[in-house]
Structure 1
Amino acid sequence: MEKTKPGTDTPPTAHAEEAVATALATDPEALARSYGPSGLRGLLQSGFVVRCAIFAAMGGFLFGYDQGVISITLTMDHFVETFPRIDGKTDPSAGFWKGLMTAMLQLGALLGAAQAGYLADKLSRKYAMFVGFLWFLVGSAIQTGSIRYAMLVVGRTIGGIGIGTLSMTAPLYISEISPPNVRGALLVLEEWSIVFGIVVAFYITYGTRFIAGEWSWRLPFLLQIVPALVLIAFIQRLPFTPRWLAAQGRDKEEALETLVRLRRLPETDERVIAEWIEVRAEAAVQKEVQAERHPNLVNNSSLSASVKLELASWIDNFRKKSYKRTMVGMGLMLFQQLVGINAMIYYGPSFFESLGLDYEMQLNMSGVMNILQLVGVTPAILLMDRVGRRPLLIWGSASMVACHVIVAAIIGTYTGRWEDHKGAAWCGVAFIFVYMVAFGLTWGPVAWAMPSELFSSTLRAKGVSLSTCSNWFNNFIIGLITPPLVQHSAYGAFVFFAVFSFLSGVWTWFVVPETTGRTLEDMDEIWGDDLGRQDKERTTSVVLKLERELAVTRGTVIPEKP
């Protein structure tokens, strides 16, 4: 039987347990190892968190669905009859109007992503997702009932605001509830859900195109409302994230109770204590740094001061010590779009038409193409941590350059003579398929996963938001320019994507660092600053302070540490 110290009910081993928890709280790698294996085995041991993550990742599914639904819809006769502006036979500017209608989803998503960080901080991560689902619901209803081109554009813009909100808040929610050993794998789930949504939407529209009348295109828009309603109905069951609770000052009881619920471990477990201390320390450091950078705004409760503080927090990512990290995060999303992936998703049938395929085969090959992207994304869950982010990006760029160049050469050589060169056409199709697998394995998941690893803790939220906004802005540009580009020269479109695929590889080689297994100090050395070291020193200091507070609460005497 252990003896307790005089005047306390806590055994001497409490000090040792808290010391272990403190060591884990200041060493993220050790904390991740303490939770067990990563990958599939780690996911099987985290059932409740996985279920919550799947629910949150449904935001990605809705985004993918709304992307995929437009591909076949644009080719439906009843859809073109309802919106004659996109009919190239009657309107010479149809390419522009088709691109604008498609791209307004991305413009709305840019607006949604820009305000999502504020909502996530003020309302909580899960209620910010709730707002995103509401925007999406309204936008989907307007798209379903559209009778004019302008109404359809408004519906896609409003739905896009919801998609953009979800694209920012869902990964944030997943990262904050996940055990550190499976956080990377669960974040890839978001990209997988996007691609899965694209595949589901494609095959739903593939089937509804046989419906006689306008429900051939209205029904796919209506069906996307169903998962949104389910998510709205059940979102209350999701737990708040411990980090948000800590940031709101609800860190002493609610944050700990939430961690116990998420980890399915007792509150005395050293790993739970370590995470609890770590999230409380990060929240305290965030407030400390903000007060240091903007003392006049933090202590002012007026509305104008709150607005100025929000703007100043965004500007912090472009200051001398942090702009390099921001540029890399935004650059990853820039190149992810300019290598042509969403052009393929939105306008797949048009690209296959340029290879001489008939209408039915255009649709069939577009479906296979989307499935192959899903095939590529799936093993990325395991490869990102084993192979590393940077090698995947470089090999992905090289593969995509080769594919685009070969397809461009085939189209440039045999256009107008496909009946005599069907083998060349199918060779082009094959290399489009290779491109989809290569992208799904590399630039698809890596560009979404890396931004959160580039920034120090005090800049991470806004840094990831800026990277996401970059994705949506460039996605908007691609959606806008691709139809007229393909309409005038499919060969030129593939050359355009080949050039940017090549530039993405060169840029990665010279600019993008490897983040796998890197500590904060390692990242400081790469960027030539000391933001990570400063954050770690502040965090360590706060962790030790919290450890002493915890010891006093539990009746354990812990000596001051130098």
Structure 2
Amino acid sequence: MCLCAVPVLITELAHPRQRGTVGSLFGSFFFLGAIVSAWATFGTLHILSSWSWQIPTLMQILPAVIQASLIMVVPELPRWLVKMGRNAEAKNFFATYHANGIEDDELALLEYTELDYIRTGPNRKRLFITLMVALFAQWSGNGIVSYCFVPVLQSAGINGGLQIFNWLMVILASLFVDKVGRRKLFLGSSIGMLVTLIAVAICNERFLATGNKSAGYCMILFLFLFNGAYDFAYSPLPTLYTAEIHPFDLRAKEVSISFASAFGFGLFNQYVNPIALEAITWKYYVVFIAIVACQLPIIYFIFPETKGLTVKEVRPPVQRQKASMESVHVAENV
């Protein structure tokens, strides 16, 4: 429930100028939690009692208690407030969080007047983009890389640090979201994954054919680079981007569909990848190389850019009508 609700809340709560960075940082906290979890379980590994698993389990209560104690101070979504007829509260929301409490601020008034916008257009295009983002996030080779990465690192004497590396990469990417734009991050990430995945396949083939340790170490290097390329877009952007491209009445539903689809695609990775990798070894990488190659034209021709736009102004390419850019200029100058 939180995974579906939080991206929608962040999209509305963040200032238009900061929405990309704030929304992307949300994804980075997955790795922060993974870091704490990994080191907590590692620290209790040698306890010779049931406390070895009870301590990490009990630690998970603390974030839930903090969330439950602070949830009452979280504001309600302004679009929901308008839908419920609580217009004054919705107007106050924009003044408080987007205009430093100034109720007659130009940006706050503009965002409030956009709430009654009647949304029409090709929502099937939005659904297609949602499914593609979920598919790319799961079927870009990250599943097969994760499956083989841990034993490779263990055989090389490298442990720990991977989640920290991922976390730092997501934070770095979050700082560029509103400077570079979503499309460029998606494209750059996919190109990086394509190049590194090809290199991983070549190194894996050489290592299996010759047992050359240099090929194995090169494979480790490119596995790290692949993770870095993946983290630059497909860790911070999917939830943010899905929430941005949908109107209010569809946003929560589509974010839920995005997570459900991602988990469904993830089941494939969990059950099929080990069998296929054992059967055809390095050749299985070619499947994901082809998938990543197909991502590039889909992203380039179909994915809309949301940088600098209010949530209302985002349109898939087929719905790009002549729309006023007044709110964009206001958001950039506030």
> TM-score, length-normalised on structure 1?
0.51
**Residue 4 of structure 2 is aligned to residue 168 of structure 1:** yes
* Equivalent residues of 2:182, 2:307 under 8 A apart: yes
Q: CA deviation at 1:331?
A: 0.6
- Three-state SS of the structure 1 residue aligned to 2:300 is helix
Distance in 2, Cα, partners of 1:218 & 1:482: 32
**Residue 226 of structure 2 is aligned to residue 226 of structure 1:** no
Whose RCO is larger (CA < 8 A, sep 6+)? 2
Amino acid at match of 2:66: V
Q: What does residue 232 of structure 2 align with?
A: 441
Match among 333, 347, 361 for residue 134 of structure 2: 333
Q: What does residue 523 of structure 1 align with?
A: 315
Deviations 1:259-291 (A, max 9, x none): 55545844544247516733xx52x446xx6xx
Q: What does residue 321 of structure 1 align with?
A: 122
Amino acid at match of 1:373: N
Computing the radius of gyration from Cα coordinates, the structure with the larger value is 1
Amino acid at match of 1:245: L
**Residue 44 of structure 2 is aligned to residue 208 of structure 1:** yes
Amino acid at match of 1:332: V
Q: What does residue 294 of structure 1 align with?
A: none
**Residue 299 of structure 2 is aligned to residue 508 of structure 1:** yes
Amino acid at match of 2:315: M
Distance in 2, Cα, partners of 1:230 & 1:493: 44
**Residue 275 of structure 2 is aligned to residue 477 of structure 1:** no
Structure 1: unaligned runs, 5 residues or longer: 1-164, 290-315, 541-562
Q: CA deviation at 1:485?
A: 3.8
**Residue 40 of structure 2 is aligned to residue 244 of structure 1:** no
Q: What does residue 108 of structure 1 align with?
A: none
Amino acid at match of 2:122: K
Distance in 2, Cα, partners of 1:332 & 1:201: 27
- Three-state SS of the structure 2 residue aligned to 1:470 is helix
Change (3 A) 1:238 1:461: closer
1:90-101 matches, within 5 Å, as none
Distance in 2, Cα, partners of 1:417 & 1:467: 43
Q: What does residue 468 of structure 1 align with?
A: 259
Q: What does residue 332 of structure 2 align with?
A: none
Match among 255, 268, 285 for residue 494 of structure 1: 285
Q: What does residue 51 of structure 1 align with?
A: none
Change (3 A) 1:202 1:483: farther
Match among 187, 192, 195 for residue 394 of structure 1: 187
Q: What does residue 118 of structure 1 align with?
A: none
Distance in 1, Cα, partners of 2:234 & 2:28: 13
* Equivalent residues of 2:28, 2:167 under 8 A apart: yes
Change (3 A) 1:514 1:182: closer
Distance in 1, Cα, partners of 2:21 & 2:153: 40
- Three-state SS of the structure 1 residue aligned to 2:17 is coil
**Residue 198 of structure 2 is aligned to residue 405 of structure 1:** yes
Change (3 A) 1:207 1:455: same
Q: CA deviation at 1:439?
A: 1.1
Change (3 A) 1:461 1:194: same
Distance in 2, Cα, partners of 1:467 & 1:179: 24
Amino acid at match of 1:399: G
Distance in 2, Cα, partners of 1:411 & 1:450: 34
Change (3 A) 1:260 1:392: closer
* Equivalent residues of 1:369, 1:432 under 8 A apart: no
Q: CA deviation at 1:186?
A: 1.0
Distance in 1, Cα, partners of 2:302 & 2:99: 42
Identity level (%): 26
Q: CA deviation at 1:521?
A: 7.2
**Residue 186 of structure 2 is aligned to residue 371 of structure 1:** no
Q: CA deviation at 1:438?
A: 0.9
1:86-165 matches, within 5 Å, as 165=1
**Residue 154 of structure 2 is aligned to residue 361 of structure 1:** no
Q: What does residue 330 of structure 2 align with?
A: none
Distance in 2, Cα, partners of 1:369 & 1:490: 24
Distance in 2, Cα, partners of 1:172 & 1:432: 33
* Equivalent residues of 1:255, 1:276 under 8 A apart: no
Q: Number of residue pairs matched?
A: 324
* Equivalent residues of 2:28, 2:235 under 8 A apart: no
Match among 438, 447, 454 for residue 245 of structure 2: 454
Q: CA deviation at 1:435?
A: 0.8
1:242-321 matches, within 5 Å, as 242-252=78-88, 254-259=89-94, 261-262=96-97, 265-266=100-101, 268-271=103-106, 274=109, 277-278=112-113, 282=115, 284-285=116-117, 321=122
Structure 2: unaligned runs, 5 residues or longer: 328-334
* Equivalent residues of 2:99, 2:107 under 8 A apart: no
- Three-state SS of the structure 1 residue aligned to 2:305 is coil
* Equivalent residues of 1:195, 1:370 under 8 A apart: yes
Q: CA deviation at 1:339?
A: 0.9
* Equivalent residues of 1:375, 1:440 under 8 A apart: no
Deviations 1:230-263 (A, max 9, x none): 21233223232333222222222x3345455545
Change (3 A) 1:370 1:522: closer
**Residue 37 of structure 2 is aligned to residue 183 of structure 1:** no
* Equivalent residues of 2:24, 2:240 under 8 A apart: yes
* Equivalent residues of 1:351, 1:486 under 8 A apart: no
Amino acid at match of 1:429: I
* Equivalent residues of 2:91, 2:112 under 8 A apart: no
